[in-house]
């Protein structure tokens, strides 16, 4: 079981807005550590989507946005497209004993 909790799946029709939550604790997200997001298309390596809570690397469409509040963070996808169907993972830092790098369990986004 992951330290960061994500919903197993979310779905939406093309053009809709979907959000993925990433819930942590007071030793990671709640302690103020940044959250980062990855998109993993089938059979490929994860791709950095959002870093530092709400920053997009060059080339990532502005349909993707991140936010953080308290012990949770969220990834929003607006104007959902068929190509967005993928697994999404959050990543943060944990200050508890030896925790360091922690991933969320992942969320499968399905475009209806």
> With binding defined as CB under 8 A, does residue 108 bind another protein?
no
Cβ count near 36 (within 10 Å): 21
Of residues 46-105, those binding another protein (CB under 8 A)? 46-48, 51-52, 57, 89, 91-93, 95, 97-105
Minimum Å distance from CB 97 to another protein? 7
Cβ count near 51 (within 10 Å): 17
Count of residues making up the chain: 112
Residue 82's φ and ψ, nearest 5 degrees, are: -55, -35
Report the alpha-carbon distance of residue 58 to residue 48 in Å, rounded.
10
Residues paired with 36 in a beta bridge: 91
Minimum Å distance from CB 14 to another protein? 26
Percent helix, strand, coil in the chain (nearest 5)? 5, 50, 45
The contact mask relative to another protein for 8-47 (x = CB under 8 A, - = no) is ------------------------xxx-x-x-----xxxx
Minimum Å distance from CB 64 to another protein? 15
Binding residues for another protein, total number by CB under 8 A: 29
Residues in contact with another protein by CB under 8 A are 2, 32-34, 36, 38, 44-48, 51-52, 57, 89, 91-93, 95, 97-106
């Amino acid at each position: 079981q992951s330290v960061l909790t994500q919903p197993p799946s979310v779905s939406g029709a093309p053009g809709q807005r979907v959000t993925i939550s990433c819930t942590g604790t007071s030793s990671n997200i709640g302690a103020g550590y940044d959250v980062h997001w990855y998109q993993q298309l089938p059979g490929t390596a994860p791709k950095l989507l959002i870093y530092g809570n709400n920053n997009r690397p060059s080339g990532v469409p502005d349909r993707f946005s991140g936010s953080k509040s308290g012990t949770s963070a969220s990834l929003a996808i607006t104007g959902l497209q068929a190509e967005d169907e993928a697994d999404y993972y959050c990543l943060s830092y944990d200050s508890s004993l030896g925790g360091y790098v922690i991933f969320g369990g992942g969320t499968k986004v399905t475009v209806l």
